[in-house]
Structure 1
Amino acid sequence: MDIVAAWTGLLDSTADDLLTEVSVNESGQVSPSIYETARLVSTARWLDGHQERLLYLLEQQRQDGSWGGPDGYALVPTLSVVEAFLVELSTGNRLRDRIHISLARGISWLRRKPGSIPDTIAAELIVPWLVEEINQHLDHRLNTPSQFNRIAPHRLREAARKGSTLPAKLWHSLEVLGADAALVPVRPVNGTVGGSAAATAAWLSGREGAGPDARSAIRHLDALQQRGGGPVPGVSPISVFERAWVVSALADGSIAIPTGLVESLHGALGEHGASAGAGLPTDSDDTAGVLYALAKAGRPASPASLWEYESTDHFQCFPGERTPSTSTNAHIMDALLLDTTEPPARRRAALTRIAAWLCGQQTPEGCWWDKWHASPYYATVCCALALHRTGGRRSAVGAAIRWVLDNQRPDGSWGRWTGTVEETAYAVQTLLATARTPTSPVVAEAAARGCAFLVRADRAEPANPPLWHDKDLYTPAAVVSAARLAALRMFARHPEAAAHRHRFPPCPRPRRAGTAVGRATR
């Protein structure tokens, strides 16, 4: 059998496996969170897996004394661990000596300038709150970074004490209210408060075992820690987000989408759209993702709920957001392009406004950045493909292609900090899905080298570093697996693939996503 045809068959079969897997997984596959795990160490010592969480945090400390990702992505998780270890030192834990040494290194790192701080979820509340909590234990206080308002968490706590209604988007970060989290009139959904272990534990404080909602929350936290062997993910469940993104990546007419998966996506749409999962508020990004996935699966739904997120020149993710999202607006373009139910004039007007706004967000180098992801390769593939599908804005798309070509690494990969499977998959898709026909030799060669990296990477089983924004960085493993499969399937079906068959060596069946996830969560 021709090697390209063999690879095509293997990739299609693996895509079938992945679709089946996400259709039965009610939680989603998410890497463990240093931030959330440390919050449970601090506030939920009663929960099983406490010692395992401590060991995990000790093992995750970086050589410079910090925890978390590169650059400013270390600040929030490092603050979380330092505060948790300060609390733990008062308990006489048998790991006390190791914790003490680790803590000293973490505090030393915090006293140095952490650099620019990314716009991760609720950083404007979490950072001043944790700095204040830590300073209660220290003789020499830490300084709150100048970009943050130290009063913001206090104002929220005061509002909670007065019985004021807090925006639903804050439920995911309810822990910043401390003991006042119990005053917020929110009930767990399937055991979770705001899709966050930290928020759920904060809400539970003082009511362990008190009533069915509390018991449901305890069961939820216990199930989370059992799945991870102690550590917990940053956001869970994310089944709607995971299913929508996987279907969007893989549905191309050649693979049957499980009926139950399609039905679950239809069921996720409510009056105000869809959320990423149970306990999380609805938003335009997940709404658009679900609509696009359903349209690609051949079961379109009305996008009427999207219009409530429309603003003057772009769409908001949710009311009152601080930072607009480029990828969200690209996803909304995708959803509207495939819609046949809304008035054409209204859709065209919205598409024109979004396209102009996206072009205004493009950097001079040709890429895009986004508030939901640390890497420009994610935002760039979303924006470049959405603009390409409209049939215009060739200059913006061309600039994106040139930027991708200019930033390929010698081993064929792409990545912000180092070459990764996820970012390479996005770069390959950007090149192949937007290229003119026939494809230029430069584009075809770059895509072939990228796919060769993806093949080698699968065999070497590398880790996929966390790149997605929550309170700290996380990896949605099935979404990354789908991106990789989509890039390889796209290339295997491309007219240029035959000329590069030497880059597809005979190999065993590519691993299923669940295998990688099992390793990531231990």
Structure 2
Amino acid sequence: MNSLTRLLLYMKNLYITYKKINILNIKKYWCMHRMKQFTQLKEAILDRIGIGQPGLMSPAAYDIAWLARVPGENDFTIPAYPEALTWLRDNQHPDGSWGSDIEYVHDRIISTLAAIIALAQWDDINNDKLYKTQSKRIIEHGLEYIRNNAGRLEFELPTGGFELILPALLQDAEKIGINVHCQTFLPYYRMREEKLAKIPSHLLYSRKLSITHSLEFMGDSLDLERAEIFQDSNGGVGFSPSSTAYLLTKLPRNNAARSYIASLVAAYGNKVPEVFPFDTFELSWSLWNLFLAGADSSDPKIEHHIRDLKSVWDKGEGVGSTTVSSVVESDTSSMVFSVLKMAGADPDPIPLRQFEKEDYFICYHYERDPCTSANVHVLEALKGVDEKATEKVRRWLYKSQVDCSYWTDKWHASPYYPTAHAVIALIGVDHDLARSASQWIINTQRIDGGWGYYNRSTAEETAYCLQALTIYSREVMPIDRNILERGRRCLLAFDNKRPDLWIARSLYTPITVVESAIYSALIMTTDYLYPAFGR
């Protein structure tokens, strides 16, 4: 090799090296810039959450419809919140329904029926002929959706309290001259009776049962002399805007309920959410996501939140979605326990025992069917703490897995949520079960790199999958890094639109919880894929 050839080769290698260093610096700068943005997002989340906070949630058409039915404070013949009626008129979907952008038929039917009743209830107060013609057209379009889609209900898991609420709404509709005429709904009357038969009669009027969250199911059978027993300290019923609005349609002079609704409208305007407040739920889920991403429990803001959660937990009763409500459940209780355990607070597991049954853990007392995500979160909470309970839930998850691949859930419309959380909970418990679920997630990655169950990728579902795959790859078996990188790039490209995927009586989005999951997934994948850049 002559001198010129050696020189050219040297210069070529030097250029390649320079190019690599330059690319590395660009990547490092980009990652540092992104990390700064991520840190700002984390700080915003920590400032927003907390015991006593109202929570941040998407509006729910179902609850807005009930708000629209509240009579005026001084004149019961007019609506107290006519703006809610305007919102309903302006937000009917092209197919005639109301509800989430993602078509979940239970959500659409219950929301549509509630909206139709609200609009028809106040039709007579407006003498404008054009208004009445438009209103009639809107209502007929909604009824058409219900009749055309009722047969699809059997292919979905029901929304919360659907079998209780639907018969009551049908009766309300009939009273104001709206006849749905749908044979598909007849079995729900029987299901309603089966549900109520599970509840001892002396507990029917109790704030401690989850049915208070759907009190409107009582329709005209509500005992008005005993109704106030359902109200919590803030005047609300079951931390539910719709249940409290229902109470006001029966007891319009109930000042405590009006005060609750007024505080709700002040916080959210007339676009009210599914629940209010939901401080424990929002705080525990958000902190769990932050801890997965390596958040430091000695951070003063996090320390403050942990002290508050420990104080709530140490009452020994279990917890529910909010500190205001008397209703406790295993899902939020498990998440609070896990967060306290992750923070080294050594929580007592005894409050979780009340939810244990022979083969699984219930979510609410007297519920009809077990809940996947609640059992997954119990597993996450009790692994390393209670071997017997851990094995019980593991066996139940093994039996309930769909096609040896994934799980569905009654609190979330997407199987990616329970499946991703199950993968995380199964680490250190059953790696074979975690492997089959991880493989299903990998196999269903979309061409854009994201994940989504309803014909498109969403930031929320993509975040859950990235959390699970990153932990699985780190703790069990490395997966193709391109899978994580493609998912990460897709997640970074999403805008701020968040389709409602969480299930209560209708679909909703706990906005801060979802943001914390997205933050968590971005931090986890960045740390795993680019450890040299650090934070």
**Which band: TM-score by shorter chain?**
0.7 to 0.9
Q: How far apart, CA to CA, are the structure 2 residues paired with 1:51 and 1:189?
A: 27
TM-score, reference length from structure 1: 0.85
- For 1:333-412, list aligned pairs within 5 A: 333-337=379-383, 339=385, 347-364=386-403, 366-388=405-427, 391-412=428-449
TM-score, reference length from structure 2: 0.83
**Could you tell me how far 1:490 is from its partner in structure 2?**
0.3
- For residues 234-270 of structure 1, the C-alpha deviation after alignment (integer angstroms, 9 at most, x for no partner) is 1111100000001111023436243331222123223
**SS state at 2:346 partner:** coil
**Could you tell me how far 1:398 is from its partner in structure 2?**
1.3
Bigger mean CA deviation after superposition, 136-145 or 480-489: 136-145
Corresponding residue for residue 445 of structure 1: 482
Q: How far apart, CA to CA, are the structure 1 residues paired with 2:416 and 2:196?
A: 38
Amino acid at match of 1:171: T
- For 1:367-516, list aligned pairs within 5 A: 367-388=406-427, 391-417=428-454, 418-435=456-473, 440=478, 442=480, 444-457=481-494, 460-461=495-496, 463-494=497-528, 496-497=529-530
Amino acid at match of 2:212: W
- For residues 89-144 of structure 1, the C-alpha deviation after alignment (integer angstroms, 9 at most, x for no partner) is 12227654432221110011122233125321110011122122223344754225
Corresponding residue for residue 286 of structure 1: 332
1:236 to 2:276 alignment: yes
**Kept in 2: contact 1:190–1:279 (CA 8 A):** no
**Could you tell me how far 1:60 is from its partner in structure 2?**
2.2
**Kept in 1: contact 2:412–2:501 (CA 8 A):** yes
- The 1:178/1:157 distance shift into structure 2, 3 A limit, reads farther
1:105 to 2:147 alignment: no
**Kept in 2: contact 1:424–1:450 (CA 8 A):** yes
- For residues 193-222 of structure 1, the C-alpha deviation after alignment (integer angstroms, 9 at most, x for no partner) is 10111211222345444xxxx323211101
Which blocks of at least 5 consecutive residues in structure 2 are unaligned?
Answer: 1-24
Corresponding residue for residue 511 of structure 1: none
Corresponding residue for residue 54 of structure 1: 85
**Could you tell me how far 1:366 is from its partner in structure 2?**
0.8
- For 1:167-246, list aligned pairs within 5 A: 168-181=209-222, 182=224, 183-184=226-227, 185-209=229-253, 214-246=254-286
Q: How far apart, CA to CA, are the structure 1 residues paired with 2:393 and 2:31?
A: 38
Amino acid at match of 1:399: S
Which blocks of at least 5 consecutive residues in structure 1 are unaligned?
Answer: 340-346, 502-522
**Kept in 1: contact 2:360–2:375 (CA 8 A):** yes
1:7 to 2:46 alignment: no
- For residues 369-395 of structure 1, the C-alpha deviation after alignment (integer angstroms, 9 at most, x for no partner) is 11111110110111111111xx24222
Alpha-carbon RMSD across the aligned residues, in angstroms, is: 2.8
Q: How far apart, CA to CA, are the structure 2 residues paired with 1:333 and 1:320?
A: 21
**Kept in 2: contact 1:466–1:473 (CA 8 A):** yes
Q: How far apart, CA to CA, are the structure 2 residues paired with 1:17 and 1:198?
A: 30
Corresponding residue for residue 254 of structure 1: 296
Matched length: 481
- The 1:63/1:493 distance shift into structure 2, 3 A limit, reads same
Identity %: 26
- The 1:155/1:283 distance shift into structure 2, 3 A limit, reads closer
Q: How far apart, CA to CA, are the structure 2 residues paired with 1:26 and 1:387?
A: 32
Amino acid at match of 1:402: Q
Q: How far apart, CA to CA, are the structure 1 residues paired with 2:523 and 2:198?
A: 52
**Could you tell me how far 1:498 is from its partner in structure 2?**
6.3
Q: How far apart, CA to CA, are the structure 1 residues paired with 2:319 and 2:55?
A: 16
Structure 1 segments, 4+ long, off by >4 Å, are 45-49, 151-160, 436-441
**Kept in 2: contact 1:129–1:153 (CA 8 A):** no
Amino acid at match of 1:272: E
**Kept in 2: contact 1:424–1:454 (CA 8 A):** yes
- For residues 172-211 of structure 1, the C-alpha deviation after alignment (integer angstroms, 9 at most, x for no partner) is 11112134433333233322110111211222345444xx
Q: How far apart, CA to CA, are the structure 1 residues paired with 2:326 and 2:381?
A: 21
**Could you tell me how far 1:59 is from its partner in structure 2?**
2.5
**Kept in 1: contact 2:51–2:280 (CA 8 A):** no
- The 1:158/1:312 distance shift into structure 2, 3 A limit, reads closer
**SS state at 2:408 partner:** coil
**Kept in 2: contact 1:49–1:225 (CA 8 A):** no
**Kept in 1: contact 2:70–2:79 (CA 8 A):** no
Q: How far apart, CA to CA, are the structure 1 residues paired with 2:268 and 2:371?
A: 31
**Kept in 1: contact 2:431–2:476 (CA 8 A):** no
**Kept in 2: contact 1:31–1:474 (CA 8 A):** yes
Higher Rg of the two aligned structures: 2
- For residues 321-347 of structure 1, the C-alpha deviation after alignment (integer angstroms, 9 at most, x for no partner) is 1111111111112211364xxxxxxx1
- The 1:383/1:112 distance shift into structure 2, 3 A limit, reads same
**Could you tell me how far 1:290 is from its partner in structure 2?**
0.7
Corresponding residue for residue 507 of structure 1: none
Q: How far apart, CA to CA, are the structure 1 residues paired with 2:124 and 2:401?
A: 50
- The 1:435/1:88 distance shift into structure 2, 3 A limit, reads same
Q: How far apart, CA to CA, are the structure 2 residues paired with 1:434 and 1:400?
A: 10
Corresponding residue for residue 64 of structure 1: 95
Amino acid at match of 1:55: T
Corresponding residue for residue 265 of structure 1: 309
**Kept in 2: contact 1:30–1:476 (CA 8 A):** yes
**Could you tell me how far 1:150 is from its partner in structure 2?**
2.4
- For 1:155-174, list aligned pairs within 5 A: 165-166=204-205, 168-174=209-215
1:118 to 2:118 alignment: no
